[in-house]
Structure 1
Amino acid sequence: MAAQREETQTAAEWQSTVAEALQATGFTGNVVQRTIDGIGTALRLDHRADFYTKLGGTTVAIKVLMVGSTAA
Structure 2
Amino acid sequence: YRKGPMSSVYVMQKENAQLQAQVASMEKTNSHQAEEIAEMKAMLTREIHERAEMKARMAELERLLRASKRR
Q: Pick the TM interval, shorter chain.
A: 0.3 to 0.5
- What is the TM-score when the length of structure 2 is the normalising length? 0.36
- What is the TM-score when the length of structure 1 is the normalising length? 0.36
Bigger RCO (CA 8 Å, 6+ sep): 1
Task: Give the number of the structure whose residues are more often helix, by fraction.
Answer: 2
Larger radius of gyration: 2
